[in-house]
Amino acid sequence: MIGDVQGCWTALQRLLDEMGFSVSRDTVYLLGDLVNRGPDSLPVLRFAEQGGTSVRCILGNHDLHLLAVAHGIRKLSRKDTLSEVLSAPDAPALLHWLRQQPLARYEQGWLMVHAGVLPQWSTDKVVALNEEFQRVMGGEDYMGFLSVMYGNEPKRWKKGLSSTERLRVIVNAMTRLRFCDKKGRMEFDTKDDITAAPEGYMPWFDVPERKTAGIPIAFGHWSTLRNVQRADVLALDTGCVWGGCLSAAVLRPLALGEAANALSVVQVHCPQTLDPLAF
């Protein structure tokens, strides 16, 4: 499982080499934000799209931004590094593949999301909500949803949400969440680490009685978080493109006949030095 690549193709290649990755033997999970900010989003996308079942991806907020830009719903900002993707001859195929990707996966005993999950959601609920999202993105009206996807409201999950509001909460939680309160009300302004939690808010994984507590969850998105590795919480965005590292959690079987997995973290340094708090 690899954290946010952010278009850093060289770092991804070095990390895969460091692990001895083989497309015929291994499976790599990319935990969202495959693209943007880094210099080489196009080869990262091509690697993911051509990897078949050996390269499995999750959508992050930057990946959704690429889709919105490609369909004229959002404009490129001066900080975006997506022009090469948009002008590539295989852009239509890559973008079609990208919009088929999920927001969450539950595989290898791990729940994988880009950002987080709300405390009211069980693992089964997360899987079901992802399926809702994928039905919309795989349907004919996916551009209709992309056009209303942006916005911070509603800030919490509750019954009776309209289809648009419901999907927006799903996307915001799984691709943007860092802090929420005990009732699952999301806060999107704070990008710093745990010590910067606004009053009444906490990291989503510290909410008491979270329904996914005890389920191993791997996520990215929070590059300023640093070094959160618990039995059931693994943060894998360690600042690739922001001057930090690209990190992978490697699951390897223990001795023959043992069901558990041994987890080790492998890292390679990324030479980019952008400031995550400036974006």
pTM: 0.93
In this predicted model, what pLDDT tens digit does every residue of 215-251 receive, in sequence order? 999 999 999 986 677 778 999 999 998 888 999 999 8
Q: What is the pLDDT of residues 169-198, one digit of tens each?
A: 999 999 999 999 999 999 999 999 888 999
Q: 3 in a domain, yes or no?
A: no
**Could you tell me the residue range of the domain that residue 248 belongs to?**
9-278
Q: What local confidence, expressed as pLDDT, does residue 73 receive?
A: 94
List the CATH number of the domain containing 124. 3.60.21.10
Task: Give residue 259's pLDDT band: very low, low, confident or very high (50, 70, 90).
Answer: very low
Residue 276 has a pLDDT of: 54
Residue 116 lies in a domain: yes
- Cα 181 from Cα 190, distance rounded (Å): 13
Would residue 4 count as lying in a domain?
Answer: no
Q: How confident is the model at residue 274 (pLDDT cuts 50, 70, 90)?
A: low
Backbone angles phi, psi at 267, to 5 degrees: -135, 150
pLDDT of residue 180: 97
Does residue 166 have a pLDDT over 90?
Answer: yes
Whole-number pLDDT of residue 264: 85
Which pLDDT score is estimated for 273? 61
pLDDT for position 277: 55
pLDDT tens digits, 100-157 = 999 999 998 899 999 999 999 999 999 999 999 999 999 988 999 999 999 999 999 9
Q: What is the mean pLDDT of the chain?
A: 92
**Per-residue model confidence (pLDDT) at position 146:** 94
| pLDDT tens profile 24-33 | 999 999 999 9
User: Cα 180 to the chain's mean position, in Å?
Assistant: 18
The better pLDDT of the pair 269, 58 is held by: 58
Residue 213 domain flag: yes
Q: What is the mean pLDDT of residues 85-94?
A: 97
What's the per-residue H, E or C state across the chain? CECCCCCCHHHHHHHHHHHCCCCCCCCEEECCCCCCCCCCHHHHHHHHHHCHHHEEECCCHHHHHHHHHHCCCCCCCCCCCCHHHHCCCCHHHHHHHHHCCCCEEEECCEEEECCCCCCCCCHHHHHHHHHHHHHHHCCCCHHHHHHHCCCCCCCCCCCCCCHHHHHHHHHHHHHHCCEECCCCCEECCCCCCHHHCCCCCEEHHHCCCCCCCCCCEEECCCCCCCCCECCCEEECCCECCCCCEEEEEEEEECCCCCCCEEEEEEEEECCCCCCHHHC
- Answer yes or no: is 259 within a domain: yes
Q: Is residue 145 part of a domain?
A: yes
Q: Which of 75-79, 88-92, 108-112, 141-145 has the highest mean pLDDT?
A: 88-92
What is the structure's pLDDT at 228? Answer: 73
Q: Indicate if the pLDDT at residue 258 is higher than 50.
A: no
What is the number of structural domains in the chain?
1
List, in sequence order, every residue forming a beta bridge with 141; answer none if it has no partner.
Answer: none
Residue where the block lists tokens 């907020």: 61
What confidence score (pLDDT) does residue 4 get?
A: 96
Cα–Cα distances (Å) from 47 to 33, 66, 209, 217, 248, in that order, read 14, 17, 39, 25, 17
Record the tokens describing residue 276, joined without a space. Answer: 């995550």
With CA atoms as reference, report the closest residue to 180 among 205, 217, 215: 205
